[in-house]
């Protein structure tokens, strides 16, 4: 079972699993209004935490580039640039 709300030790994957559980309960229509409101608030908090985690991960990702001289360097990875490069090469950007 997922850890309780407020437990800062939840992994990203555990947060997503808990969000799926919340969505299933809300969509089932079997919970009352009070419980629905609590679940909604918990889900909103989990979404914020997931977005924060993804933002932090995005900041840590770097793109390794090679200059014409053969020297390697890193630069921030930008999703839009990766998508354009993949499009030019006929590949899918991950």
Question: Residue 9's pLDDT is what?
Answer: 84
Tell me: do 16 and 54 sit in the same domain: yes
State how far the Cα of 69 lies from the Cα of 82, in Å rounded to an integer: 23
* Number of domains, the chain: 2
| Confidence tier at 92 by pLDDT (50, 70, 90) | low
Specify the pTM: 0.60
Question: Residue 22's pLDDT is what?
Answer: 97
**Cβ pair 53, 59 in contact under 8 A:** no
Average confidence (pLDDT) over 70-89: 65
Assess if residue 20 is contained within a domain: yes
Assess if residue 22 is contained within a domain: yes
| pLDDT tops 90 at residue 27 | yes
Tell me: do 43 and 31 sit in the same domain: yes
Assess if residue 51 is contained within a domain: yes
| pLDDT tops 70 at residue 53 | yes
Assess if residue 3 is contained within a domain: no
Tell me which residue range forms the domain holding 66: 62-89
């Amino acid at each position: 079972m997922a850890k309780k709300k407020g437990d800062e030790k939840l992994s990203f994957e555990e947060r997503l699993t808990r969000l799926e559980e919340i969505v299933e309960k809300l969509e089932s229509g079997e919970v009352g209004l009070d419980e629905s409101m609590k679940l909604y608030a918990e889900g909103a908090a989990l979404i914020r935490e997931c977005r924060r985690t993804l933002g932090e991960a995005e900041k840590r990702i770097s793109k390794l580039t090679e200059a014409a001289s053969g020297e390697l360097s890193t630069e921030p990875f930008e999703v839009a640039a990766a998508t354009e490069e993949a499009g030019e090469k006929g590949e899918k950007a991950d």
